Amino acid sequence: MAGIETIAIILILIFSVIIHETAHGWAAYSLGDPTAKLAGRLTLNPIAHLDPVGSIILPLFLIFLSKITGGAVIIFGWAKPVPVNPYNFKDKKYGELKVAAAGPLSNILLAVIFGILIRYGSSFLNEQALFLAGYVVWINLILAVFNLMPIPPLDGSHILFALLPSSANKIKFVLSQYGMIFVLILIFFFSPVIFYIVRFLFQIITGIGFNF
3-state secondary structure of 101: helix
Candidates 5, 21, 96, 127; catalytic one: 21
The amino acid at 58: L
Amino acid at position 145, single letter: V
Residue 31 CB partners (closer than 8 Å, separation 6+): 88, 89, 90, 91, 95, 98, 99
Which of 96, 81, 93, 79 shows the shortest CA–CA distance to 33? 96
Q: Residue 172 in contact with residue 164, Cβ under 8 Å? A: yes
> In this structure, are residues 74 and 197 in contact, taking their beta carbons and an 8 Å threshold?
no
**Cα–Cα nearest to 85, from 123, 35, 121:** 35
Radius of gyration for the chain, computed over Cα atoms and rounded to the nearest angstrom: 18
Q: Is 21 a catalytic residue?
A: yes
Quick one: which of 145, 155, 151, 156 has its CA closest to 176? 151
Please list the active-site residues: 21
